[in-house]
Amino acid sequence: MESMVFSSLIFLFAYLPAVLLLYYITPRKGKNLILFVVSLFFYAWGEPIYVLLMLLSITLAYLFGLLIGEYRKENPRRAKLFTVLSVCISLSFLLFFKYYNFFALNLSRVPMVNIPTIAGLALPIGISFYTFQIISYTVDVFRKDCAVQKNYINFGAYVTLFPQLIAGPIVRYTEIDEQLTHRRESAREFATGVFRFVVGLSKKVLIGDALAAGFVYFQDSLSVSPSVAGAWLTVILYSLHLYYDFSGYSDMAIGLGHMLGFSFPENFNYPYVAKSITEFWRRWHISLSSWFREYVYIPLGGNRVGTFKRYRNLAIVWLLTGFWHGADWNFVLWGVYFAVIIITERAFLLHLLEKLPRAVGHLYSLFLIGVGFLIFSHHDLRVAFSTFLALFGVGTDGFISSTGLYTLIRQAPLILISAIGATPLPKQLWERAQAKHPRLQAVAVALCILLFGVCVAYLVDSTFSPFEYTQF
């Protein structure tokens, strides 16, 4: 059975209305229980057996949290032991399901080593995200950054909360602790959530999926009639597709949070306007970058150590960031790729970029981001390398084929719209218009209804299209 996703008719017209009805008719004391139960149901829709794994992870983290809270004052060493055990157990589940076959397959290439793989070992959906959330709670309790959550239902609701369960944003416990017990829903918050959700749905269905279709076409064409333009368009279309797909999911998650009275952290801040790769990663998947900075980079010493160790810390963080995305060599290379760039920027390149015109830094960033996503999107590194060479005319049949030109002309309006939409310009123009004409609020409501209707029409006529980051 396919997992339930936000951009599915079953979610929009059955699950979500039922959840909202149950949530709002339930007294306040029972709302977290409702969220816990419906979130488990949401998860179990596609993978019922792995609900047991999730419940085990929640229960162990909850119990360890109680033990850490009990001993962190009187016996810090014992509290630290429980913290290490909790983190190791949580990571062991992630490592086994996500990486066992990868390590078994690669280690078995070593002479005299034969580690059997496990056929049918599926990756539990969302395990990379909820494992990091559990770890953030455990570490924050040990650090005394938050109080121990003694209510099992509240803790379970935090871990399983369905809006951000599958693909983030990664919500640290300290960001939501107060909201678990003291949030207040309102009509204004609900309306804000609906609008944000519809914007995200539109980004995914109307733009992201259309960009994906163009990417698949030009990617396939490279194997038949490789061209320079085809290679560039695979890079451009995939980069835009991934942004609209993933940021669309984050918008929908944040919107659903508002509907339920929660305020989740932002996950994107117009990353393609960055003028350096360092800035790009402050704007892209913000919750993941923040998590690694808080729980890996700073504990390793962060910027408080010497130059060599600082660069070593960056290398470790980016190797782990790449590997977090998937058990394949292209993700490892992707992490190493960005590690090298960011270390180079920290060493001297940022100072140089600051002296150059902003357009130079912007073009530099877009090119390196595109190459990074070229690695990211190809499990076969040979294909990725041949596509990279094709960007500069190596191994191509020409600049563009006649069918490629026809497809480009058809795709051009979509590419232009999506490129502009990836900048702050549309939002700025809308805010200025609203400031001058307050009655535009009614137009926003009408536009929201129209966009939702168009999205539904597309969903009725389309095949299942999961979000990219649900596979991580």
Contact predicate 263/179, CB 8 Å? yes
Contact predicate 321/288, CB 8 Å? yes
pLDDT digits (tens, 9 = 90+) for 411-445: 999 999 999 999 999 989 888 888 887 777 778 88
Residue 183 token pair: 């949030």
Average model confidence (pLDDT) across the chain: 91
Rounded Cα distance between 423 and 275, Å, is: 13
Q: Which helix (H) or strand (E) holds 308?
A: helix 307-324
Of how many residues is the chain composed? 472
What letter represents residue 330's amino acid?
N
Decide if pLDDT at 118 tops 70.
Answer: yes
Residue 400 confidence class, pLDDT cut points 50, 70, 90: confident
Rounded Cα distance between 38 and 195, Å, is: 23
Rounded Cα distance between 164 and 254, Å, is: 8
Residue 2 confidence class, pLDDT cut points 50, 70, 90: low
Residue 464 confidence class, pLDDT cut points 50, 70, 90: low
Handedness of CA 430, 436, 438, 442 (dihedral sign): negative
pLDDT digits (tens, 9 = 90+) for 188-240: 999 999 999 999 999 999 999 999 999 999 999 888 889 999 999 999 999 99
Decide if pLDDT at 1 tops 60.
Answer: no
> What's the confidence (pLDDT) of residue 466?
67
Rounded Cα distance between 291 and 348, Å, is: 26
Nearest-CA neighbor of 274 among 184, 365, 346?
Answer: 365
Contact predicate 327/99, CB 8 Å? yes
Contact predicate 427/435, CB 8 Å? no
Residue 159 token pair: 């871990």
pLDDT digits (tens, 9 = 90+) for 62-76: 999 999 999 988 899
What letter represents residue 388's amino acid?
F
Residue 364 confidence class, pLDDT cut points 50, 70, 90: very high
Give the helix ranges, DSSP H, for 260-306.
Answer: 277-283, 286-292
Residue 179 confidence class, pLDDT cut points 50, 70, 90: very high
pLDDT digits (tens, 9 = 90+) for 294-336: 999 999 998 899 999 999 999 999 999 999 998 899 999 999 9
Q: Please report the DSSP string for 312-373 in residue order.
A: HHHHHHHHHHHHHT-SSHHHHHHHHHHHHHHHHIIIIIHHHHHHS-HHHHHHHHHHHHHHHH
> What's the confidence (pLDDT) of residue 48?
86
Contact predicate 4/11, CB 8 Å? yes
Nearest-CA neighbor of 41 among 199, 189, 160?
Answer: 160
Rounded Cα distance between 346 and 315, Å, is: 12
Cis peptide before 169 (omega within 30 of 0): yes
Residue 463 or residue 286, greater confidence: 286
Neighbour count for residue 147 (Cβ, 10 Å):
13
Which residues, in sequence order, are CB contacts of 291 under 8 Å at separation 6+?
132, 136, 170, 172
> What's the confidence (pLDDT) of residue 431?
84
> What's the confidence (pLDDT) of residue 470?
61
Rounded Cα distance between 413 and 392, Å, is: 25
Residue 144 token pair: 């005394």
Residue 471 confidence class, pLDDT cut points 50, 70, 90: low
Q: Please report the DSSP string for 203-231 in residue order.
A: IIIIIIHHHHHHHHHHHHHHHHS--HHHH
Residue 239 token pair: 């980069």
pLDDT digits (tens, 9 = 90+) for 138-152: 999 999 999 999 999
362 among known catalytic residues: no
Among candidate residues 325, 362, 379, 437, the one labeled active-site is 325
Contact predicate 143/172, CB 8 Å? no
> What's the confidence (pLDDT) of residue 465?
67
Phi and psi based region of residue 124 (left: phi greater than 0; alpha: psi -120 to 50; beta: remaining): beta
Rounded Cα distance between 268 and 250, Å, is: 8
> What's the confidence (pLDDT) of residue 229?
92
Contact predicate 346/311, CB 8 Å? yes
Contact predicate 240/199, CB 8 Å? no
Burial 364-386 (b: 16+ CB within 10 A, else e): bbbebbbbbbbbbbbeeeebbeb
